[in-house]
Amino acid sequence: MRDPDARLLNQKDAAAYCGMSAAIFNQKCNVKPIAMGVQFLRYDKRKLDDWIDYLQNDSKQENKPKEIDHAFYLERLKNNG
């Protein structure tokens, strides 16, 4: 990264900030860049941080055990047995 204190990053620096290659960044990141002129796009670090936080929270939800709906399964057992 050119300036570690810069808030707005070009695509290459934004990808590096997120710890991924530019190709993977293009595929995975849904943060919209700010158009600051024709073909002059910048990514806001704060928006990138929000996206990373969202991914972090979403992965915690996926790893969390799902609650079992016991009433649903008991009803199915009654109807099938």
Gyration radius (Cα) of the chain, Å: 21
Res 65 pLDDT > 80? no
pTM flag (> 0.75): no
Question: What would the pLDDT profile of 6-31 be if each residue is shown by its tens digit?
Answer: 999 999 999 999 999 999 999 999 99
| 67 contacts: CB under 8 Å, gap ≥ 6 | none
Q: Are 10 and 42 in contact (CB under 8 A)?
A: yes
3-class secondary-structure state, position 34: strand
Q: For residues 61 and 49, give the distance between their C-alpha atoms in angstroms, rounded to a whole number.
A: 18
